[in-house]
Amino acid sequence: MISQTRYTPLNAFLAYLQFEKRYSVHTITAYSNDLIQFFDFVETQYEGISVTQITGTIVRSWLAGMKEEEMTGKTLNRKISSLKSFFKYQIQQGEISKSPMETVISPKVSKRLPVFVAENDMEQLLTNLAFAEGWKGYTEKMVIQLFYATGMRLSELIQCKETQLDIPKRIIKVLGKGNKERILPISPALALELKKYINEKPAAANGNPYLFVTEKGKALQPRAVYTFVKFYLSQVTTLQKKSPHVLRHSFATHLMNNGADLNAVKELLGHASLAATQVYTHNTIEKLKEVFAKAHPKA
């Protein structure tokens, strides 16, 4: 349940995000933090003004203050996005006729290319690396395999239930952002391994619906998954970032590098727009440059 704030217009907006847009708690909390910060600023600097009196100038002065604190362009853009959504909602509710955000320009942010693990390093990780003993190591290996085989997000994998897995059909139904369902194929070998994993679950897991469980039969915690993914990736790569999301990037990049269709990769990742997936084409271009340099007589 999302906790109430002391700003009534904000509470109505957060309830709309929760019950109508069906956003995750994590996303709503991010919106809430950004907007509380903005309303605190308005209350301090412009005491007594209502939502209908907020102007683009007020928003820009708030953003300028954060820029002086050396906040990154990416963070500022997220805060601008939160405000745009809030004022769009106010228009829908008939509270205002025009958004103050129309005159606010988002800072340009240079797009960072997704960090990914090389194909041979992933092969090394899954084939030659020794995982921890017992159920703990077994679970950790299966989690890493599934991340790389499907490109799932961390939240999707942790929340994945046994009932979402159809072993005969070799598919997993995933509930993604905004409660959107997508179907992911898995290889025959991975389907068999997951079947074996389910059959060998500890007795303590009886009644736990989740696919992956600890030796005590409990659901996996995000922090624990981060920790072991980072540990195993550090054995095979010198990348600075070693998070579960890097495995998602690796999944998408390796698909693209091996000729997968961009629209198909978009569907597999559960992206709402093609623009989000297109970032992976940059890595493909780098790969093509390498091939060209090695193979073309005039390169």
How far apart CA 155 and CA 176 sit, in angstroms, is 8
Please, where are the H alpha helices in 69-169? 73-92, 119-127, 134-150, 154-159
163 to 74, 159, 173, 205, 220: CA distances (angstroms): 38, 11, 9, 15, 17
| Active-site pick, 67, 271, 282, 287 | 271
Contacts with 19 (C-beta within 8 Å, 6 or more apart), sequence order = none
271 is catalytic: yes
Q: Does the annotation count 7 as an active-site position?
A: no
Task: Clarify whether 153 is annotated catalytic.
Answer: yes
Supply the angle between the helices 262-269 and 274-295 in degrees, to the nearest 10.
130
Check if 280 is active-site: yes
Catalytic, out of 177, 182, 230, 282: 177
**Which of 153, 201, 249, 266 is flagged as catalytic?**
153
Q: Which of 248, 249, 254, 266 is catalytic?
A: 248
* C-alpha–C-alpha distance, residues 40 and 37, integer Å: 5
Indicate if 245 belongs to the active site: yes
CA distance linking residue 238 with residue 76, whole number of Å: 30
Q: Are strands 171-175 and 165-166 parallel, antiparallel or unpaired?
A: antiparallel
Grouping H, G, I as helix, E, B as strand and the rest as coil, residue 257 is: helix
Q: SS3 of 1, please?
A: coil
The yes-or-no answer on residue 248 being catalytic is yes
The set of catalytic residues is 153, 177, 245, 248, 271, 280
